[in-house]
């Protein structure tokens, strides 16, 4: 059904990638985005023109105590516009103030975070074995040395008159087998050989376990993800969080009387448009609670500009919701637009437009540390910093021991 050249007043506010505004030098407003392109297609098919009217308070629409609504929903409630683009979540309270078109897409609200990075761990060389293993190993070595002294004493008693240094157990054997050094000369007695064979087996197993885990710890980046849900965000406490004013999530948190949503509202910062603040979010370590499509747009644009993955989407979504256009109550335009919106959705045009705006986000939708295209990366100095720190500490202790030996020697 054509509208015969009718001119519509359309409420819209910037919300990338759905609605994008750019002010020209002459003061005109250049409009683009997924829902703008969709609306232009419908305008051409239905033969109407339109002009955009932005809400003075830059809000989507939330209910005030007196029952009136802010933002674009309020403009529909007061019949100031013929249609509001949004797109809007069709919540129960908003449905009392405006009519909605057929659903144009479903989305999830989630959490966008600065991407966690590879952590440098100076104590990494001790991490392959748990502290209990290190402690048990130290105790086992000490006990074996004591046992070695006892065995030496017993061997001397057995070989009365035929003492042999090659039969004696040397405490340095343990350190040699643990460091894969040669034990020479080998002991002659069966008990001494059984003693050294036992530690050879222990050393071999521990070396294999230690070296294998150490290589994996160094080669595979260690990335800790502190926030993967709304509860994590509250518990972690190191990320301030923001939401967009008048959004569905803002409404939902405001209606909460207790529980997690109430806690989120207490610590939230309200902003007009998080897309324009994306650099601040990335640099200042701030979390954003918005729909996933909007997150992907930010990630895609940032990856196109930097070639890096600087953002991360938490795994657990906050909630899911249907999105649609809004009309004044009882508007005759609603069923007319529904026909064309259904055709655009069923043809895949809307999905194709979303994919086109967010295509470069794909490279960054993997877990931190699993990004593709990294290829072979040699170990950096920071990767092996724990080893060099150990060598420095060991050398320092050796010099102190040498100094003490010189002092004792002079005193003697």
CB 302 within 8 A of CB 282: yes
31 contacts: CB under 8 Å, gap ≥ 6: 12, 19, 20, 21, 52
Query: How is 273-302 classified by DSSP, letter by letter?
Result: -GGGGHHHHHHHT-EEEEEHHHHHHHHHHH
pLDDT at 358 (0 to 100): 87
What's the full length of the chain, in residues?
412
The answer to the question of residue 36 being in a domain is no
CB 29 within 8 A of CB 52: yes
What's the pLDDT tens digit per position in 328-349?
999 999 988 898 888 888 888 8
Distance from C-alpha of 84 to C-alpha of 78, rounded to nearest angstrom: 12
Please tell me the pTM assigned to this model. 0.68
CA atoms within 13 A on the CB side of 380: 10
Per-residue pLDDT of the chain (412 residues; tens, 9 = 90+): 567 788 999 999 988 898 888 876 766 667 888 899 988 998 888 888 999 999 988 888 888 889 889 999 999 999 999 999 989 988 888 888 999 999 998 999 999 988 887 666 666 667 777 778 778 878 877 877 777 777 777 766 665 545 455 556 676 777 777 777 777 666 666 667 777 777 777 777 777 777 777 766 666 666 778 888 889 888 888 888 888 888 888 888 888 888 888 888 888 888 888 888 888 888 878 889 999 999 999 999 899 888 888 898 999 988 888 999 999 999 999 988 898 888 888 888 888 888 888 888 888 888 877 766 554 455 555 655 655 665 566 667 766 766 776 777 677 5
Closest among 9, 8, 41 to 343, alpha carbons compared: 41
Q: Which structural domain range is residue 157 located in?
A: 124-220
pLDDT at 383 (0 to 100): 57
CB 275 within 8 A of CB 297: yes
* SS3 label, residue 56: coil
The answer to the question of residue 163 being in a domain is yes
pLDDT at 404 (0 to 100): 77
* SS3 label, residue 348: coil
* The two structure tokens encoding residue 42: 């419908």
Distance from C-alpha of 310 to C-alpha of 364, rounded to nearest angstrom: 8
Q: How many distinct structural domains can be found in the chain?
A: 1
The answer to the question of residue 210 being in a domain is yes
The answer to the question of residue 349 being in a domain is no
Distance from C-alpha of 296 to C-alpha of 10, rounded to nearest angstrom: 26
The answer to the question of residue 307 being in a domain is no
pLDDT at 324 (0 to 100): 92
Strand partners, 244: 271
pLDDT at 81 (0 to 100): 94
The angle, 0 to 180 degrees and rounded to 10, between the axes of the packed helices 131-158 and 190-219 is: 160
The answer to the question of residue 184 being in a domain is yes
pLDDT at 9 (0 to 100): 93
User: How big is the chain by its Cα radius of gyration, in Å?
Assistant: 35
The answer to the question of residue 166 being in a domain is yes
- CA 366-372-376 angle, 5° bins: 135
The answer to the question of residue 263 being in a domain is no
* The two structure tokens encoding residue 10: 């359309």
Q: Exposure string (b/e) for 153-187, b if CB count within 10 Å is 16 or more? A: eebeeeeeeeeeeebbbbeebbebbbeeeeeeeeb
Closest among 331, 335, 342, 336 to 82, alpha carbons compared: 331
Q: Could you count the other beta carbons within 10 Å of the beta carbon of residue 30?
A: 10
* SS3 label, residue 60: coil
pLDDT at 360 (0 to 100): 87
pLDDT at 375 (0 to 100): 47
């Amino acid at each position: 059904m054509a509208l015969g050249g009718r001119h519509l007043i359309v409420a819209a506010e910037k919300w990338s990638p759905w609605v994008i505004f750019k002010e020209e030098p002459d003061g005109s407003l250049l409009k683009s985005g997924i829902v703008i392109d969709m609306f232009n297609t419908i305008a051409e098919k239905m033969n109407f023109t339109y002009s955009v009217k932005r809400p003075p308070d830059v809000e989507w629409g939330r209910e005030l105590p007196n029952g009136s609504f802010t933002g674009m929903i309020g403009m529909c409630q007061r019949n100031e516009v013929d249609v509001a683009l949004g797109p809007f979540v069709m919540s129960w309270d908003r449905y009392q103030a405006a009519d909605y078109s057929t659903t144009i897409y479903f989305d999830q609200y989630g959490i966008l975070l600065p991407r966690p990075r590879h952590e440098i761990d100076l104590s990494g060389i001790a991490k392959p074995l748990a502290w209990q293993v290190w402690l048990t190993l130290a105790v086992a070595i000490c006990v074996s040395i004591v046992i070695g002294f006892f065995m030496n004493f017993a061997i001397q008693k057995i070989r009365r008159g035929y003492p042999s240094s090659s039969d004696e157990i040397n405490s340095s054997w343990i350190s040699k087998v643990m460091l894969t050094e040669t034990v020479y000369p080998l002991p002659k007695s069966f008990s001494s050989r059984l003693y050294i064979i036992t530690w050879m087996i222990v050393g071999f197993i521990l070396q294999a376990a230690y070296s294998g885990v150490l290589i994996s710890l160094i080669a595979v980046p260690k990335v800790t993800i502190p926030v993967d849900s709304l509860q994590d965000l509250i518990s972690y406490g190191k990320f301030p969080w923001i939401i967009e004013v008048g959004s569905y999530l803002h409404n939902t948190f405001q209606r909460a009387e207790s529980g997690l949503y109430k806690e989120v509202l207490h610590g939230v910062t309200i902003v007009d448009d998080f897309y324009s603040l994306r650099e601040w979010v990335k640099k200042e370590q701030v979390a954003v609670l918005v729909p996933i499509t909007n997150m992907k747009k930010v990630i895609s644009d940032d990856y196109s500009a930097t070639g890096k993955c600087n953002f991360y989407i938490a795994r657990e979504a906050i909630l899911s919701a249907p999105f649609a256009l809004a009309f004044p109550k009882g508007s005759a335009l609603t069923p007319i637009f529904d026909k064309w919106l259904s055709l655009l959705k069923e043809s895949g045009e809307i999905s194709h437009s979303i994919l086109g705006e967010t295509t470069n986000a794909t490279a960054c939708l993997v877990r931190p540390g699993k990004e593709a295209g990294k290829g072979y990366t040699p170990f950096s100095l920071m990767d092996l910093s724990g080893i060099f720190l150990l060598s420095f500490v060991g050398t320092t202790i050796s010099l102190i021991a040498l100094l003490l030996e010189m002092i004792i020697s002079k005193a003697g």
